Amino acid sequence: MPSLDRRTLLAGAAATTAFIATASRAQAPTVPTDPDLAGKTVLITGCSSGFGRASAEHLARLGAKVFATMRNVPRPEAAELEKLARDENLDITVLELDVLDDAMVANAVAEAERLAGGGLDVVVNNAGIGISGPIEVQDMAATKLAFDTNVFGYYRVARAALPAMRAKKSGQIFAISSQLGRVITPFGGHYSANKFAVEAMFEQLAYELVPHNIDVTIIEPGGYPTRVWVNRNAYTGALKERAPEIHKAGYPQVVAAMGTEDGSGRSASMMDVPNALAEIIAMPAGTRPLRRAVSGGPIPQVEINRVSAETQVAWLGRSERLGPLIRAVHNV
């Protein structure tokens, strides 16, 4: 059968039992390795280092107008990025944005929209933290900070950008998740819980935004040699010092290692994420994937993603009200 994109499906293609059983995923169009992103406006959170910084530079070099956000501006990382933009004649504007602050999120998004002349084309939710250790050892301060940054922070930024995107009937929202949003390793603090929440929230958002011609993609990186390890050790070390002994006593070996993680030996290229963002941005609206796994090593979540998509389509794909949304997002 011919491939159908989500807009065609929404226009009235009806699902039948046979369709649900035999439909295959629409093939994504071929996109150049370094697509031309001239004219695209992109806001990225967490641009002081890691995936955020690399993505800001890469997308700007491909022609995008980038709003690189970070907290605590002015700071050396902001000055470095601004100097790079001047030296290479890149269209990068650094804006202060702390994803924990409702007013600051609203103001930064509004300023980006003003400078862009309207709704943003792309929002990349990337800012995040990690606090390792057994679940029992996580106190409420660590728990609230992790969820507020990694889940509610993503929500704040996406929600602030959506009205203008809906007004122009187009847009792309990315959520940088993790392999650990689909699989779980013990002693990772609330990181998997955070990323599982992100996966659920943004998949639901993808369905709800189909009528508005706004795409949502969840990027699922494996482990990369970013500063996340340095920052995680700082947060985890502080937790280790203040956590009550009664909660640490059950996990002596794990607690002893808290705050000493080392990701520096990882050889995967951080450019995997910026390259994936650029490729997906360049795809035609309605053909972009819901999820993209990237990793320099094992990618255990691919099978989970496949089964999840098939389950959603089989369960709700024939629904008169919800079926078009489900089938559209999964490109079947």
Question: Which residues are CB-contacts of 215 (< 8 A; sequence separation ≥ 6)?
Answer: 171, 172, 173, 206, 209, 285, 286, 288
Q: Which entry of 191, 207, 224, 251 is annotated as an active-site residue?
A: 191
How many CB atoms sit inside 10 A of residue 86's CB? 10
Class of domain 6-24+35-223+266-329 as given by CATH:
alpha beta
Closest-CA residue to 215 (of 4, 6, 2, 3): 6
Stretch among 27-31, 65-69, 269-273 having the lowest mean pLDDT: 27-31
pLDDT of residue 4: 42
Q: How do residues 240-258 score in pLDDT, each as one tens digit? A: 999 999 999 999 999 999 9
Q: How do residues 87-146 score in pLDDT, each as one tens digit? A: 999 999 999 999 999 999 999 999 999 999 999 999 999 999 999 999 999 999 999 999
The full set of domain ranges for the chain reads: 6-24+35-223+266-329
Q: Where are the alpha helices (DSSP H) in 228-269?
A: 228-242, 245-248, 252-257
Q: How do residues 180-235 score in pLDDT, each as one tens digit? A: 999 999 999 999 999 999 999 999 999 999 999 999 999 999 988 767 778 899 99
Strands of 41-44's sheet, edge to edge? 92-96, 65-70, 41-44, 122-125, 171-176, 214-221, 291-294
Does 191 qualify as catalytic in the annotation?
yes
Handedness of CA 195, 193, 158, 216 (dihedral sign): positive
Which residue has tokens 């990181």?
Answer: 191
Average pLDDT, the chain: 91
